[in-house]
A = this chain, B = another copy of it.
């Protein structure tokens, strides 16, 4: 059983209505690894960092069972950097600065020891990089999950559509699903997107939860109503990590199990937003996760017998 994770490992500087972070460690693959490593080992990480990326961060992930053989360290270059500012609703944000740095020329190399992995999580990254990883795998994983964002729809739509056509599960947010499909209704958007390749579509709606579409079936996972959302950065990646981590642990790629995986991902994301960056993800235990999943059960549970 193994899981390959592809994505950025990087620095972020974040402003929210509640505060401002220094330059802290972030990146899709970082959040995914912190999240998924609660459920499955080893995680085979594919990414690129500069000489400025802290060794202790790599060590901390290694300790959690994340195999760094696929992480290129370019000593003389700088890591990817993003800074952004969230609006009051925390669902929208402005990018203040983007420095591509090592990501600008990233050519992923899949180590031989990563071949034969059963699960592939393509975190948010250039579609060309995602395609290259898929092409390098000698055996198609049992399940390929793709997370992406509007940025790639704007600058690399054709490549993105090619990746989408090759994956089993696509994750986007609601406005991205609308942008990708040209349909306002999410049900219509889902139908169109599912006709282009993926068997499953997950539409993330932030504080409004997430929808899973498969054929004519749909599942609605709530988000936990939170008193404070401190920093939403990485929540989507953390969700993806919990989702694929649960799938990799159970090795069950049925629609039924994907519903549960979405609840697990939602529980992980609800922890992520409690502190800046991945700080909260570094603290939580299996008991914390179990307790949060149980909160989701209580949140949606109702006695249908009462309707009769």
| A residues at B contact (CB < 8 Å) | 88-89, 184-188, 205, 208-209, 211, 217-223, 225-229, 246, 250, 252, 256-257, 259-260, 262-264, 290, 293, 297-304, 306-307
- A sample of 8 inter-chain contacts (CB < 8 A) reads A211-B225, A218-B299, A252-B306, A256-B303, A257-B303, A259-B302, A264-B307, A290-B307
Check if B222 sits within 8 Å of A222, measured CB to CB: yes
The answer, among B89, B184, B205, B302, for a CB contact under 8 Å with A88, is B184
What is the copy number of this chain in the assembly? 2
For the complex, what is the distance from the CA of A226 to the CA of B229, rounded to whole Å? Answer: 29
Bound CA–CA A297/B303 (angstroms):
9
**A262 CA to B257 CA in the complex, in Å?**
27
Chain B residues with Cβ below 8 Å from A89 are: 184
Q: Are B208 and A306 within 8 A (Cβ)?
A: no
Taking CB atoms, residues of chain B closer than 8 Å to A222 are 209, 220, 222, 300
Contact A260 to B227, CB < 8 A, known contacts A208-B208, A209-B222: no
- Contact between B297 and A304, CB atoms less than 8 A apart: yes
Contacts of A223 in B (CB 8 A): 220
Residues of B within 8 A of A257 (CB): 303, 306
A219, B299: Cβ atoms closer than 8 Å? yes
**If A246-B307, A260-B307, A307-B263 touch, does A302 touch B188 (CB 8 Å cutoff)?**
no
Q: What is the CA–CA distance of A186 and B229 in the complex, to the nearest angstrom? A: 11
Are B227 and A188 interface neighbours, CB within 8 A? yes
Give the complex CA separation of A277 and B243 in angstroms. 41
User: What residues of B have a CB within 8 angstroms of the CB of A302 in the complex?
Assistant: 219, 221, 256, 259-260, 262-263
* A246 neighbours in B (Cβ, 8 Å): 307
Residues of B within 8 A of A262 (CB): 302
Closest chain B residue, CB of each to CB of A205: B208
- Give the residues in chain B near A252, CB-CB below 8 Å: 306
**A209 contact from B184, B186, B220, B260, Cβ within 8 A:** B220
A301 to B260, alpha carbons, bound, how many Å? Answer: 9
Across the interface, name the chain B residue whose C-beta is closest to A227: B187
Contact call A185/B228, Cβ cutoff below 8 A:
yes
Known: A209-B220, A220-B209, A220-B299. A187 touches B226 (CB 8 A): yes
- The residues of B that contact A307 with a CB separation of less than 8 Å are 246, 260, 263-264, 290, 293
Flag if B263 contacts A300 (CB, 8 Å): no
Contact A220 B300 (CB under 8 A): yes
Q: Which of B209, B217, B229, B263 meets A208, CB within 8 Å? A: B209
Cβ contacts under 8 Å, A208 to chain B: 205, 208-209
Chain B residues with CB under 8 Å of A229's CB are: 185
- Among residues of B, the one whose C-beta sits closest to the C-beta of A293 is B307
Distance from A294 Cβ to chain B, minimum over Cβ atoms (Å): 8
**In the bound complex, CA of A246 to CA of B306 (Å):** 9
